[in-house]
Chain A
Amino acid sequence: MAFSTMQGALELGLIYAVLAFGVYISFRILDIPDLSVDGSFITGCAASAICAVNGHPLFGLVFAFLCGGSAGFMTGLLQTKCRIQPILSGILVMTGLYSINYKLMGNTPNISLFNQETVFTKFSALVGNELSDLILCAIFIAVLSVLLYYFLNTQLGMCLRATGDNEAMVRASSVNSDMMKIMGLALANALVALGGGLLAQYQNFADVNDGIGKLVIGLASIIVGEAFFGHRTLQRSFLAVISGAILYRFLLSAALHLGVNATDQRLLSAVLVTAAISFPVWKNAWQKRRKHLC
């Protein structure tokens, strides 16, 4: 693999790690399968792109975070106050977001950011190094992980983690568990959208149809990472999320390099997630059978 390809994979991996952190919060910490991700990712892209076009790329990221947060807040409301099943809540929000994203983008299916100021061009002008994109992505992820790690160790963060672990216990500890779910889903989708916002400015475009499969990418990253680092402690989980997102990018670019069609990417992701989840089950069954035979 050429160096530039590797650098690109690394940069994309770091950007997708932001998305993976969001998915980690809903899937792992809250233990809720949240499908709104495929919609809120594009909400992030759209919000960030539209701000960048108007000359405020940095504010674009903040706006992406806020828009994603509102989407997650909606999913949370549907789940807790309207008592709609988690999967359906996610699907409803994702479906509704499609129209909202289209509107957000000014009724066009895509926005191009070529020759526009983005956070990447700004940073590059500041450092003037050909590694500037990579440095920016790395700084971004480092700051994000520290903030998130600190948050998950505050009282609020602890309540959030306990809500996914044992809801009855959380309520018995005088915590409003519905509130925790809403807040957790808002934060999860805010991060997902932030990842989307960053990606839009990195690749210089936003496309309203690009959302499908983002959730699976996030999941795949977490699972691949956990295969190496496990999830015994919060630090290990964080390491798993970041390294998983990067590794997954490398796997993809290796596959593309070997001649796999770009449109086959999603099939590849789906197969990867399926295999990673069911591998321990097969292994167990196989070991049991072997014991019987001996």
Chain B
Amino acid sequence: MLKLENLSLTFHPNTVNERVALNDVSYEFAPGDFVTILGTNGAGKSTLLNCIAGTLEPDRGKIILDDTDITWMKEHARARQIGRLFQDPLKGTAPNMTILENLGLAYSRGKRSSFRRAIQKADIPFFREQLAKLNLGLEDRMETKVGLLSGGQRQALTLLMATLVTPKLLLLDEHTAALDPKTAQNIMEVTDAIVKEHRILTIMITHNIKQALTYGNKLLVMNEGKIVKELNATEKMQIGVDQLLAMYDLT
């Protein structure tokens, strides 16, 4: 469960460039929710995710994950419980390390013992099985350096790494936006399958309206740093694209 209480953040306060990115946002995500967020550029979607992940600190407000106040927790410390994917498929993997080494690193998340070997032989079958689920043939290329993979393959691997140790919360920031439509579709389906399998609380930002309507059980529309509309699963099914676009301008 994730609770946001009166979250506010203003960039460049008291200057001509002052911009309210988050304006008193309060929302409670239920366990197992898959929430998609729509909104124009600058609506505050990424800022919200950055605050939750710890990349940005809010001016005011609280972020509570499973009864723990994580508002001021360091980014790497809360990463123990939060998996995250970015739009840039190159951001989530280490290019000069092999697929196996990347997975080994991700698998040690939160249970690190420094002088243990990073890749335990006993874990390799598990990695292989997980890679096979991606349907990209990566399970036979575990010794390949990640830098040699395509953007789609790297994003798929990042997804796997973010969920290898099941996180309490998965943040997806337009994670398919930089991929071709076919690959994007594939990644989206894998995402949905993983999220459903482990019932991970997931928040996904997207500009793809079809994606926002197809996936998830809730839809939020943000504008000017506020959540201006909330749709549940049934409402999502009934709404049309035009009606949804009109909501972008709500205040």
Contacts and interface: CB of A to CB of B under 8 A. Distances in A.
B91 A173 contact: no
Contacts of B161: 173
Contacts of B191: none
A155 interface: yes
Contact of A172 (B84, B108, B117): B84
Interface string B49-82: 0000000000000000000000000111101100
A154 B115 contact: yes
Nearest to A231: B96
A153 interface: yes
Main secondary structure of the interface of B (DSSP, over half): loop
Interface in A147-161: 153-159, 161
Given A158-B105, A174-B76, A165 B112 contact: no
A166 B89 CA distance: 12
Nearest to A168: B91
Contact of B97 (A155, A162, A177): A162
B231 interface: no
Contacts of A155: 104-105, 108, 112-118
Interface residues of B, number: 34
A25 to B, nearest CB: 14
B79 A174 contact: yes
A155 B83 CA distance: 19
Given A153-B119, A173-B161, A174-B77, A166 B112 contact: no
Contacts of A169: 91-94
9 contacts: A155-B116, A155-B118, A156-B115, A158-B108, A161-B94, A162-B105, A166-B90, A173-B106, A173-B108
Please give me the 10 A-B residue pairs with the lowest Cβ-Cβ distance, nearest first. A165-B94, A158-B118, A174-B79, A156-B114, A174-B80, A162-B94, A166-B94, A155-B118, A171-B76, A176-B76
Interface of A: 153-159, 161-162, 165-166, 168-177
Given A155-B104, A165-B96, A174-B112, 16 more contacts: A153-B118, A153-B119, A155-B112, A155-B114, A155-B118, A156-B115, A158-B97, A158-B101, A158-B105, A165-B95, A166-B91, A169-B91, A172-B162, A173-B109, A174-B76, A175-B105
Interface of B: 74-77, 79-80, 83-84, 90-97, 101-102, 104-106, 108-110, 112-119, 161-162
